[in-house]
Amino acid sequence: MARRYGPDIDAILARRYDNGADYWATPDGGISKGSPFTTLDCALMLADLGVDPAEPVLRRTADVIFSTLRADGRFRVSPRGAIYPCHTINALRALCHLGFAADARLAKTFDQLVQIEHGDGGWQCRKFSYGRGPETLASNPGPTLAALDALRLSGARRDSEPLGDAVEFLLSHWVTRAPLGPCHFGIGTLFMQVTYPFAAYNLFFYVYVLSFYEKAREDPRFLEALQALESTMAGGEVIVQRPHPRLAALSFCRRGEPSALATERYGEIRRNLGRA
């Protein structure tokens, strides 16, 4: 697959110094600046495009991410400012997709993630950019979805109570659709436009991750979301409706065109549901 997407891989690799240091990092060690060409985003994209995590570029990218791991299990993805749960979740998710889910260095991170699960089942970053209304008492759906993506790769029991609560939180959001959490994640027009690769809180990413959890698979709310995703497809292929503008030149996620790679991810959904 990596050979098939060689030009896209080369285009991503060509941006590796854009933020001032190697491996898409900033000179002071930031790994989340410059979206979508950040250390974390590019690690995920290259893995998705079939680059072997054992290749030197991804091994060294993983080293850069691990260099931001603190003794308490959190990741400082930016050299300044507070450390929010979403920072740790996004770094953990990238490392899990690079094959490090069972790495002993991440044991504290997984433990800490379970310990800070919010009362409604999700994860909350207490950064109140939109003020403090009743909706900000809830978890943030986006980081919660990303956490479930990482946790599904960790060997954790997907039917455990903590993960089941997180799944229920996201399924409930499908019904309410209202902006939730301090960062105001809602389900509206932009959410319903298929986005690929997986980064933002979006219909395709939502259905993909939840399909790995038995609690969701037969739930009518999940099945309704799946039907909404399938209604956007053409000829059995996923059509990318809203890629990141800075990825417009890459072949695997062109706006308005079928994506073979996204369609493979849809195939995973079908296999999870026993429909393959």
- Identify the top-confidence range among 131-135, 136-140, 210-214: 210-214
Pair of tokens at residue 57: 């570029």
The closest of 92, 63, 88 to 77, measured between CA atoms, is: 88
Residue whose structure tokens are 């996923």: 238
Residue 133: partners with Cβ closer than 8 Å, 6 or more residues away: none
Tens digit of each residue's pLDDT (9 = 90 or more) over 27-84? 999 999 999 999 999 999 999 999 999 999 999 999 999 999 999 999 999 998 889 9
Token pair belonging to 257:
């065109």
HEC string of 98-148 equals CCCCCCHHHHHHHHHHHHCCCCCCCCCCCCCCCCCCHHHHCCCHHHHHHHH
Task: Tokens 């749960």: give the residue.
Answer: 85
Model pLDDT, residue 110:
93
How much is the pLDDT for 2?
63
Residue type, 34: G
Looking at residue 132, its pLDDT comes to 74
Taking the C-alpha atoms of residue 275 and residue 269, their distance in angstroms, rounded to an integer, is 9
Average the pLDDT over 156-175 and give the result.
Answer: 85
- Short-list 152, 156, 267, CA closest to 210: 152
Residue 24 has pLDDT above 90, yes or no: yes
Q: Quick one: tokens of 248?
A: 């417009």
Q: Which of 32-46, 125-139, 174-188 has the highest mean pLDDT?
A: 32-46
SS3 60: helix
- Give Cα 136 to chain centroid, integer Å: 22
* Average of per-residue pLDDT values in the chain: 93
The b-or-e profile of 140-175 (16+ CB within 10 A means b, else e) is: bbbbbbbbbbbbbbbebebeeeebbbbbbbbbbbbe
Other Cβ atoms less than 10 A from the Cβ of 204: the count is 28
Token pair listed for 99? 């094959």
